Structure 1
Amino acid sequence: MRRDSALEDEIREIDTGVPMTRFARGWHCLGRAADFRTGTPTGVEAFGTRLAIFEDDEQRLQAIEARCPHRGGDLSRGSVKDGNLACPLHDWRWAGDGHCVDVPYSRQPPPAAARVRSWPTLEENKLLFVWNDPEGNPPSPQVAIPKIPDLDEWTDWSWDGTVVTGTHPREFVDNLVDCPHFFYLHFGVPSHFRVLLEGHTAAQYLRMTGRKDIGPGSEHDTTMSVYSVATYHGPAYLVNHQDFDLEGMKIYGIGLFTYYPVNAETMHLNWAMSIKRIDGLPDNVTQLIAKSMAESTSLALQQDVEIWRYKTRIDNPMLSEDDGPIYQLRRWFDQFYVDADAVTPTMTDRFEHEVEIETARQYWEQEVAAGLQAAAAAADSPS
């Protein structure tokens, strides 16, 4: 395609912008709930501080600031006594709402100002979520984490994660609307790609097959096709419903992709995979299939992480006509980084876009054919 000669001498300067220092308003998944039910507190670095997660006497998981305001002890290294969190340094007792409820050695009740920050918690889909809001408002029912029905019919979550430094979560969320990167980075050939943004949700509809020229070791098996619906519920929790066809075998999977910010420049990225148990297959075989698919998911995420390590932040990406709607997605994402009364209709109004993919698909299929031809020629040549 010819370029406009009047623009040939212009240089596009990258605007790196100002990184966000505020932490998003919304539910953030910390991991599998069972992993926090150990009988002892668990420390989690998140939201620029340290959280202490513990189970109270009603078996509810609680999340409070881990720094004791008495003498600075780490509450996550304490113990649970009578349903409250006891500081390991002086045994001050802290309830799940952040209030100090007892100083056992003192003749006086705890100081009225003895309180640490607490985060609302939620257990859903066998996962633990904490609600973060810089304004301190509670979550509304409209942003509830959706329940996955009949979860007992699925394999246990295979859970993995990594800490990513020097990267804001926006880089991760941008992938939702980036169709071409599935071919070049994840070795798939998309044939349908649509995006729907509305309210606090953002969804991607994708149909794709594996690249036959890549072979073993690619994320997508060359004999497998998939129809995927991946939906963000808020800024940090993505549920990916996947219908796989593996040489006639139907496999239904659910992928989870979540993160929580450690600080303004670091995030803890987690992912999980589960598949619906397959009629006629022993449970151990189903678990092996789930394990294999989880490993493929891990490969895909590590591919993304490797890119993020070296790419620059860019607030003014130059897009081609057939790229996805990155600017619209970023407006949607911005709603979680402003006060609730500053959210505008441009951030939440329904927006739908289908990427015109036919030209790209034809080019990709030609590239795959050329790769297969080159591989065949190399195999036939004498060593």
Structure 2
Amino acid sequence: MATTKDYRIGEFTFPRGWFMIAEASELDTHRPLAVRFFGKDFALYRGRATGKVVLLDAYCPHMKTHLAAPNKTSYVIQDGMGTNVEGDGIRCPYHAWRFGPDGKCDDIPYHKGEIPAAACVKSWTVVESLGAVFVWHDPEGGEPEWDHPSLPQWDDAGWVRPKWDHLGMLNQHGQEIVDNICDYGHLSPIHGSTVARFENEIKGHMAIQRQCGGHRTLVSADGVSADLHTITTYHGPGVLMSDLTGMYEGVMLICNTPVDDGTTKVWHALMVRSPSKSKVATKTDAVEAAHFQEMALTAFVQDIEVWNHKAPCINGLFIPSDGAFVKARIWYKQFFNPRAKKQEYLDQAEGVYVPRGIPPYTQPKIAA
């Protein structure tokens, strides 16, 4: 396991960006959820008054009790019918201090005086989208730099909404995962792809891969396309969205979020356009979509199996035919450094890159 410092990525241990922290359905309960990301513990819950999702730092400032750790014996929990979520707030199970969704303590049952201003925990910017919960993480405490993850297809009745595949913890830094965006050379040996065209484009907070060719898993002769076309974009360091056309038309979602320095939690999902081409996806479509997601997951697990057992690639022996590893790693650094330095990295990284020996995905237009 290697750390941010080992990779010499930047000043901050954890990056700036939107990151998945839970599947939304995990909050369809009266109890809070204890989660850990960015080397910190959090209390995550759905408010019982409005249904809004709330993420607070986990430890009560009074005596450092975890607000969301499993607890069935405290009378705060028992009197709350099995929960310490109260309205959109949460009560500490130890002394019953209540914290609102803004993180401020608004009630100390046994105290008649003024509540100290220091009686608060940090409340984080979270958004429920795509059947998941995303948090904006910024070591500098700034507002979101780009929009939270979303897709217009999510509200289109002709698309099948997926369930998230929870792939657990990788003992790898996010750098190893994000390297995949430019790794042309692995597509044939690992995934069985016959790549016909490939390119990367780096611009702003996005790193893009465009490629097409044959594939052993995700295409069929009678599918939407005989070749697999993917337009894959990292929106910041933690959220990948890939428009793909093969057996069916779909959008693949892969999220990676740092847990501790050098460990990462990973999720996968696949939205699929109605295989029967219905305006409203049918039950049969849902079955076909789930099958297609399972096939896509198998392809992703081919990467996971390698990542689970590889040593950290601190100084790779990259060759011109590999892909734009060096450029993508420079792009990645912007998220681990102050925003004031962002342009320094973009000046070195932005552009379109094609590995030696392969045609670019984007073909020049022929004049009529």
The verdict on a shared fold, with TM-score over 0.5 as the criterion, is yes
Q: Could you state the TM-score of these two structures normalised by the residue count of structure 2?
A: 0.83
Name the stretch that deviates more: 327-336 or 223-232. 223-232
CA contact (8 A) 1:193 1:204 kept: yes
CA contact (8 A) 1:186 1:220 kept: no
Residue of 2, 21, 31 corresponding to 1:30: 21
Q: Are 2:64 and 1:72 aligned?
A: yes
Which residue does the alignment assign to 2:272? 275
CA contact (8 A) 2:98 2:108 kept: yes
Which residue does the alignment assign to 1:43? 34
Q: Are 2:150 and 1:147 aligned?
A: yes
- For residue 128 of structure 1, report the CA deviation from its aligned partner: 1.4
- For residue 355 of structure 1, report the CA deviation from its aligned partner: 2.7
Residue of 109, 112, 121 corresponding to 2:114: 109
- For residue 175 of structure 1, report the CA deviation from its aligned partner: 0.4
Which residue does the alignment assign to 1:167? 172
Structure 1 residues 125 and 315, CA, compared in 2 at 3 Å: closer, same or farther?
same
Amino acid at match of 1:227: H
Which residue does the alignment assign to 1:352? 352
Give secondary structure in 1 for the equivalent of 2:191: coil
CA distance in 2, matches of 1:100, 1:280: 52
Which residue does the alignment assign to 1:178? 183
Q: Superposition pairs for residues 203-222 of structure 1, below 5 Å?
A: 203-211=208-216, 219-220=217-218
Amino acid at match of 1:353: Y
Give secondary structure in 2 for the equivalent of 1:291: helix
Q: Are 2:181 and 1:192 aligned?
A: no
Which residue does the alignment assign to 1:256? 253
Which residue does the alignment assign to 1:231? 233
Which residue does the alignment assign to 1:216? none
Amino acid at match of 1:294: Q
- For residue 33 of structure 1, report the CA deviation from its aligned partner: 2.4
Where structure 1 has 5 or more consecutive residues not aligned to the other structure, the ranges are 1-15, 212-218, 360-383
Structure 1 residues 318 and 222, CA, compared in 2 at 3 Å: closer, same or farther?
farther
Q: Deviation per CA, 1:29-48, whole angstroms, max 9, x where unpaired?
A: 12332332323211211111
Amino acid at match of 1:325: A
CA contact (8 A) 1:192 1:357 kept: no
- For residue 222 of structure 1, report the CA deviation from its aligned partner: 6.3
CA distance in 2, matches of 1:274, 1:146: 14
Which residue does the alignment assign to 2:341? 342
CA distance in 2, matches of 1:265, 1:255: 25
- For residue 242 of structure 1, report the CA deviation from its aligned partner: 0.7
Structure whose alpha-carbon radius of gyration is higher: 1
Structure 1 residues 310 and 278, CA, compared in 2 at 3 Å: closer, same or farther?
closer
- For residue 24 of structure 1, report the CA deviation from its aligned partner: 0.7
Give secondary structure in 2 for the equivalent of 1:107: coil
CA distance in 2, matches of 1:338, 1:58: 36
Q: Deviation per CA, 1:251-306, whole angstroms, max 9, x where unpaired?
A: 21011000111100211100111101234567222122211221122222322222
Note the aligned Cα RMSD (angstroms).
Answer: 2.3
CA contact (8 A) 1:193 1:357 kept: no
Q: Deviation per CA, 1:352-371, whole angstroms, max 9, x where unpaired?
A: 11234449xxxxxxxxxxxx
Q: Are 2:321 and 1:322 aligned?
A: yes
Q: Could you state the TM-score of these two structures normalised by the residue count of structure 1?
A: 0.80
Structure 1 residues 312 and 222, CA, compared in 2 at 3 Å: closer, same or farther?
farther
Q: Are 2:293 and 1:288 aligned?
A: no
CA contact (8 A) 1:188 1:220 kept: no
Give secondary structure in 2 for the equivalent of 1:85: strand
- For residue 129 of structure 1, report the CA deviation from its aligned partner: 0.8
CA distance in 2, matches of 1:208, 1:284: 31
CA contact (8 A) 1:237 1:258 kept: yes
Task: Give the % identical residues.
Answer: 28
Structure 1 residues 358 and 197, CA, compared in 2 at 3 Å: closer, same or farther?
closer
Which residue does the alignment assign to 2:53? 61
Q: Deviation per CA, 1:211-242, whole angstroms, max 9, x where unpaired?
A: 4xxxxxxx445655211111111110111111
Q: Are 2:334 and 1:332 aligned?
A: no
Amino acid at match of 2:16: R
- For residue 55 of structure 1, report the CA deviation from its aligned partner: 2.3
Which residue does the alignment assign to 1:367? none
Q: How many residues align?
A: 331
Structure 1 residues 233 and 17, CA, compared in 2 at 3 Å: closer, same or farther?
closer
Q: Deviation per CA, 1:291-344, whole angstroms, max 9, x where unpaired?
A: 122112222232222212222222322222211010000110000001111223
Which residue does the alignment assign to 1:373? none
CA contact (8 A) 1:145 1:233 kept: no
- For residue 110 of structure 1, report the CA deviation from its aligned partner: 2.5
Which residue does the alignment assign to 1:12? none
CA contact (8 A) 2:199 2:354 kept: yes
